[in-house]
């Protein structure tokens, strides 16, 4: 613990109003703490601070105003649910427009396992138990152990900013820098404007994918103007055939062998040769394409579970097998491509000075139907964006 010395006592007072004005420029989410009072009645209040204190064990910190008329009622119980209010949840936003609001009668909610109200339509919620309460000036800091969590992946949070409330602009999302992906994320950060322009021109979301060792990750997304990004940045999955053919451009035999080694089962000679033909086809074309098919949905669900974790050996094996089963959809011969009804994904590389691309740009059909006739225009748009990214 750091103890302030006598010299620190001479620091002049900061004007409270000016301090609040400056801090208002730091956007924060709107979180409502709900519980039940001593009589079992539901109660709630806005918390001005919600912070992750620890991930192991899972601890959060929330602040409450002890001078508020309902502080004592709230702290009658050591169980709370922190509701992350969504930007579209206008009813909850109006009810909890001040830190002293506590009326849950006019909004929909369901009880958590501990009995605390979960506000319907929230972006997410955290059910927790209070471990400690600390004095922090004119606030009380409650250190809480997380018991259960859930999120609405499509929900966007309501934010406090400069004294008002508003929604988060979901058009662009970039993964924070991570070990092994630093160069790729820096490239995307410099070139995100090119991705935004490409999304506007294509009328569909543009995503950036990167490879790190034996895995791949979605590191950025940009939606067309007026739309929301639907792809969850941070989603990761094994670098296993047929995924990531463009990352093998110009690669040596050792790299390609390592790619096949990631399969759950060793491929037969015929399977290996067929996949290598698809790699060569993508390399010669300068782009990669995946056709639509019902088998993709089951793999998508496994990727979501893989990203959330924990990754069990069974999940890892099932996902690798599931990805391998999609081989026939990727980089087909021209005659098969021309007969296809729709396209699942279309990718172009973002070249690098090394032997393989750092990043690949892609569009997918999860939120917008893509047909084979769209590919020439998409190729021109993404190739231009790729060139802009490496010259920015």
Task: Name the strand (E) or helix (H) holding 270.
Answer: helix 269-285
Task: Name the strand (E) or helix (H) holding 376.
Answer: helix 375-391
> Within 10 Å of residue 33's Cβ, how many Cβ atoms?
24
**pLDDT value of residue 308:** 85
Q: Judging by DSSP bridges, how do beta strands 109-111 and 79-84 pair with one another? A: unpaired
- Which domains occur in the chain, in start order? 25-167 (2.30.110.10), 181-391 (3.30.450.40)
**pLDDT value of residue 9:** 59
Is residue 138 a contact partner of residue 68, using CB atoms and an 8 Å limit? no
**pLDDT value of residue 316:** 96
**pLDDT value of residue 4:** 47
Q: Which two tokens stand for residue 172?
A: 């662009």
* Residue-by-residue pLDDT tens, the chain, 392 positions: 445 455 555 677 888 778 877 888 788 888 888 888 888 888 888 887 889 999 999 999 998 888 877 777 788 889 999 999 887 776 676 676 554 455 677 788 999 988 999 998 888 999 999 999 999 888 899 999 999 999 875 667 888 777 676 776 668 888 877 778 888 998 998 899 999 999 999 999 999 999 998 999 999 999 998 777 777 788 999 999 999 999 987 788 888 899 999 999 999 999 999 999 999 999 999 999 999 999 999 999 999 999 988 899 999 999 999 999 999 999 999 999 999 889 999 999 998 765 578 899 999 876 578 999 999 999 999 999 999 998 87
Sign of CA dihedral 163, 168, 172, 176: positive
**pLDDT value of residue 172:** 84
Give DSSP secondary structure letters for 4-36.
--GGGGGSPPPPHHHHHHHHTTS-EE-EEEEEE
Distance separating alpha carbons of residues 349 and 332, to the nearest angstrom: 18
Which strands, in side-by-side order, build the sheet including 164-167? Answer: 28-29, 158-161, 164-167
Distance separating alpha carbons of residues 389 and 352, to the nearest angstrom: 11
């Amino acid at each position: 613990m750091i103890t302030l010395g006598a010299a620190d006592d001479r620091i002049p007072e900061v004007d409270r109003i000016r301090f609040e004005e400056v801090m208002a420029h730091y956007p924060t989410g709107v979180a409502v703490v709900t519980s039940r009072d001593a009589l079992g009645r539901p109660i709630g209040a806005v918390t001005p601070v919600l912070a992750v204190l620890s991930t192991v064990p899972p601890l959060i910190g929330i602040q409450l105003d002890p001078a508020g008329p309902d502080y004592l009622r709230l702290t009658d119980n050591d169980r709370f649910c922190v509701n992350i209010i969504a930007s579209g949840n206008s009813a909850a936003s109006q009810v909890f427009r001040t830190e002293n609001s506590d009326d849950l009668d006019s909004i929909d909610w369901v009880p958590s396992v501990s009995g605390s109200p979960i506000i319907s339509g929230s972006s997410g919620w955290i059910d927790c138990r209070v471990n400690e309460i600390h004095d922090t000036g004119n606030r009380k800091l409650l250190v809480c152990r997380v018991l259960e969590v859930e999120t609405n992946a499509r929900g966007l949070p309501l934010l406090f900013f400069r004294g008002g409330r508003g929604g988060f602009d979901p058009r662009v999302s970039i993964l924070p820098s991570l070990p092994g992906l630093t160069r790729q994320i820096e490239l995307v950060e410099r070139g995100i404007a090119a991705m935004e322009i490409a999304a506007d021109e294509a009328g569909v979301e543009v995503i950036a994918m990167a490879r790190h060792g034996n895995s791949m990750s979605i590191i950025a997304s940009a939606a067309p103007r007026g739309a929301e990004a639907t792809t969850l940045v941070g989603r990761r999955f094994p670098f296993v055939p047929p995924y990531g053919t463009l990352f093998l451009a110009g690669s040596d035999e050792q790299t390609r062998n390592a790619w096949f080694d990631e399969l759950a089962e060793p491929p037969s000679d015929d399977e290996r040769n067929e996949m290598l033909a698809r790699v060569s086809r993508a390399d010669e074309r300068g782009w990669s394409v995946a056709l639509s098919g019902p088998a993709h949905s089951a793999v998508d669900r496994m990727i979501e579970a893989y990203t959330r974790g924990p990754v069990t050996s069974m999940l890892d094996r099932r996902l690798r097998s599931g990805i391998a089963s999609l081989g026939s959809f990727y980089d087909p011969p021209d005659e098969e491509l021309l007969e296809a009804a729709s396209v699942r994904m279309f990718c172009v590389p973002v070249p690098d000075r090394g032997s393989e691309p750092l990043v690949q740009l892609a569009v997918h059909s999860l939120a917008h139907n893509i047909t084979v006739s769209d590919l020439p225009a998409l190729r021109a748009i993404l190739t231009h964006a790729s060139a802009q990214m490496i010259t920015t």
